[in-house]
Structure 1
Amino acid sequence: MSAVQASPGKEASAESTLVLPSVVGKPKSRFRPTTAGWFARGLAWAALAWFVFAVPGNFLSPFDLHGEDIGHLITAAVFVIIGLSLNILIGYTGTISLGHQAFVGIGAFMAAYMEVDLGIDFWFAVPIAAIVGGVQAAVLGAISLRLTGLYFALVTFAYGVFTEESIFGIIGFTGGDAGKAVTRPMGFQSPTAYYYLCLGFVVVVLWLDWRLTRTKGGRALQALRENPRVASSYGINVKAYTLLAFVTSGVFAAVAGALFAHGKDLIVPQNFGFELALSFILMTVVGGLRNRAGVVIGSVFFALMEGGWLFKTWLFDTVGVDWLLEDGIGLPLSFVPLVLGPILLILTLTTHPGGIGQQIAPIKEWMLGRKFDIHTGKVRDVEVTDVRA
């Protein structure tokens, strides 16, 4: 029962008290999957685990993957870490980097230099490469933090070109055109074992990224993306938190570079050109900014397109996609990512602003035990604050 009392200064009497009937609605029932629903979700999770863990090791799999195939999967795991690192910059702070290949390359050559020239073990070389990646990001960020948007992107682009033309040309550091040959760590010499090691690093980076977004600093980063001036008015140090994002992104990228170096028989400076930086940005935006699942899938997709390996698999080979691209229209498979990437970007900006993450949101929520809703995760418009100019 509820009552509306008389105005202040007057005593409420029985006549001045209005008694309203209590209306109690039925509580909204919480959706719970049925037994069959949980079983279906379990099968979906089992299929995903089988694809990620069993297929690369040729366990209970009709496919027969060899060393080259596993090498592409290793590259996919490395690209996932790179995509997550870029998502911190573009997705969380709205700052774009056009020189991310420099951070990956320096991480790769630093790990290779320490192992080949200094004889340092893999387990020490990777953390040192990560520190170097964070330091270079801190130095570059401290110099260019006065700039924002397009100007900051141009600074990162200039740094990427500078790294390609100067640092990667130091023969004592990179080996020059001959490159550096790096061996995999003890116990992980086989491509399959090293793939599982890279998966372990992916899990660690995903966990760190998840923890970051749930800290005070992570919330501050996302406030910067919405509006730096408003965030500053609430006491958030815009420059300090932007630098934090840049350093974190640099650390993740350097770790990915170190893993990339050990996953290849030979790394050369040509592996880290500007077209690689474009692929990194495309896979992150197409995957879906601020959506880890989307970024992971987008990164894997672009990694498997590198060198056209995806179109040489059994699925595409049966319909002759590689023949159609190379012999039909004269497009080398190695150029497919640079052609297909912009097309996917246009489709993302016009039809699915949330990227792959938006498209898989209903399935992801369903697998997490929630009701399937085709409209889940729908994004109507592109947020212009995602890349501030």
Structure 2
Amino acid sequence: MTAENLRKYGVFIAALVVACLLPYIGISKFMLNVIIYAGIFSIATMSLNIIMGYTGQVSLAQGAFYGIGAYGLALLTNKAGLNFWVAMLLACLITALVGLLIGLLAFRTRGPYFIIVTLCFNFIVYVVIKNWDWLSGGVRGQKIAGPEFFAGRDARYYLVLGFVLLALFITWRLSRSLEGLGFMAVRDNEPLADALGINITYTKIVAFMISCFLAGLAGCLGALHTGYLSPSSAHYMLSFNFIIYLLVGGAGTLYGPLVGTFTVYLALEFMKDIGEYRFMIFGAILILTVIYFPRGIVGGLKSLRRWLKSFRKKIAGNKKAEEGA
């Protein structure tokens, strides 16, 4: 193992150890609650990263798929009486199936038209959930009860942590698979990918379905943690939030969704005392980030590391030249 890999895995292991010990180091219940939400939203942002970061298709429907997963779990447990874990898996699969149906329609378009189709779909899902009382409970919402073991906040924290790691593993494995290479080929040069024999529509739909599955998973975890669902669980603003998290962290990177979600979500929570001014301050910071770090925090750090490595090699080369002279 090289020194670079050792350093990389060392940072990950250290962060994982801290994450595992977090409930036992005197953190407040409020702060732990905020971190749980950040973890749930980071899974949704990872779902967006697959379709947007790796495949190059900007989807504004992730909020809808988050809501479909959440309400799917509630309906399958409350109305169908299914076991929680079976219902959770089925809710994620249903979300992926809906993604397939929407993908077959939406991928007939491209560019801004695809974005508009996905946004319109999010509007439709939100309006249906808000107004169809029998199905969703309407504006009153509905309660959802999870397994007794996860009634405690600490237990839910570890459950979310486990699924965050699972989503990270799926993203990592996917990015190194032939399917993932196909995603990136479509993102980087669609005509060339088509010329090389890659089925463009099939590739996009597969990426979209995986993305929807993870968004549905995030929705299920959100429903379990809150214990209550309202139409805001499928609000279109969630889709915009996930895009902001991804852009700040770094689209097309493994840790970008995680870093971006925790950075933005925690920053806004810490600035709550200044009220609406926090959005003005954060908006200015976001503009500067997009201008000066177009590849996000993780992408920017990678570029900085490459520059430092190149700079050190240049210094070492100059020293050797001086010694030779």
Q: What TM-score, normalized by structure 2, do the two folds share?
A: 0.86
User: What's the counterpart of residue 182 of structure 1?
Assistant: 144
Q: 1:350 to 1:295 in 2, by over 3 A?
A: same
Q: What secondary structure is seen at the aligned counterpart in 1 of 2:47?
A: helix
- Residue identity (%): 29
Q: Among residues 157, 161, 166, which one is paired with 2:119 in the alignment?
A: 157
Query: 1:358 — aligned with what?
Result: 299
Does the 8 Å contact 1:82/1:252 carry over to 2?
A: yes
For residues 263-301 of structure 1, the C-alpha deviation after alignment (integer angstroms, 9 at most, x for no partner) is 103220023322221111111111101112122110122
**1:343 corresponds to which of 284, 288, 296:** 284
Provide the C-alpha distance between the structure 2 equivalents of 1:150 and 1:42, rounded to a whole number of angstroms.
39
Confirm whether residue 282 of structure 1 aligns to residue 249 of structure 2.
no
Seen in structure 2, the aligned counterparts of structure 1 residues 110 and 374 have a Cα distance that, compared at 3 Å, is farther
Aligned mates of 2:292, 2:141 — CA distance in 1: 43
The Cα of 1:311 is off from its aligned counterpart by 3.1
Residue 292 of structure 1 aligns to a residue whose secondary structure is coil
Structure 2 match to 1:381: none
Instruction: Give 1:65's match in structure 2, choosing from 28, 31, 38.
Output: 28
Partner of 1:77: 39
Q: Which residue of 2 aligns with 1:141?
A: 103
Partner of 2:209: 247
1:267 to 220, 229, 245: 229
CA distance in 2 between counterparts of 1:194 and 1:151 reads 39
Number of residue pairs the alignment of both structures matches: 311
Amino acid at match of 2:134: G
Write out aligned runs for 1:70-149 (5 A): 70-149=32-111
TM-aligned CA distance change 1:304 to 1:204, over 3 Å: same
Contact in 2 for aligned 1:285/1:345 (Cα 8 Å)? no
Q: 2 CA distance for matches of 1:88 and 1:208?
A: 10
Closer/same/farther in 2, CA of residues 76 and 132 from structure 1, 3 Å limit: same
Query: CA offsets per residue over residues 327-364 of structure 1, 9 Å max, x none?
Result: xxxx266xx3xx4554344223321122110344389x
1:76 offset after TM fit, Å?
1.0
Q: 1:96 to 1:46 in 2, by over 3 A?
A: closer
The answer to whether 1:52 aligns with 2:19 is yes
Quote the Cα distance in structure 2 between the aligned partners of 1:141 and 1:249.
Answer: 11
Distance 1:41 1:245 in 2: 27
Gaps of at least 5 residues in structure 1 are: 1-29, 313-321, 377-389
CA distance in 2, matches of 1:232, 1:125: 39
User: What is the alpha-carbon distance in structure 1 between the residues aligned to residue 166 and residue 115 of structure 2?
Assistant: 28
Structure 2: gaps (5+ residues): 313-325
Aligned partners of 2:84, 2:73: CA distance in 1, in Å? 8
* Aligned amino acid, residue 267 of structure 1: L
Match of 2:150, SS state, is: coil
- The corresponding residue for 1:170 is 132
How far did 1:52 drift? 1.4
CA contact (8 A) 2:129 2:138 kept: no
Q: Tell whether 2:154 aligns with 1:192.
A: yes
Code of the aligned partner of 2:271: F
Select which of 306, 309, 314 maps to 2:269.
309
Provide the aligned C-alpha RMSD in A. 2.8
SS in 1 for 2:211: helix
Distance of 2:8 and 2:297 partners within structure 1: 20
Aligned to 2:260: 298
Find the aligned partners of 1:341 and 1:136 in 2 and give their Cα distance: 34
| Greater relative CO, 1 or 2 (CA 8 Å, sep 6+) | 2
How many angstroms apart in 2 are the aligned matches of 1:42 and 1:209?
16
Give 1:50 shift.
4.6
Q: Secondary structure at the match of 1:206?
A: helix
User: How many Å apart are 1:309 and its aligned residue?
Assistant: 2.7
* Secondary structure in 2 matching 1:157: helix
Q: Secondary structure at the match of 2:229?
A: coil
The letter for the 2-side match of 1:81 is I
TM-score by length of 1: 0.73
The one-letter code sitting in structure 1 at the alignment partner of 2:131 is G
> What one-letter code is carried by the residue in structure 1 that aligns with 2:146?
R
1:201 deviates by 1.0
Contact 2:66–2:233 under 8 Å retained in 1? no
Query: Against the structure 1 CA distance between its residues 146 and 362, is the aligned structure 2 distance closer, same or farther, given a 3 Å change threshold?
Result: closer
Distance 1:341 1:31, change over 3 A: same
Higher share of residues assigned helix:
2
Per-residue deviation at 1:97? 0.8
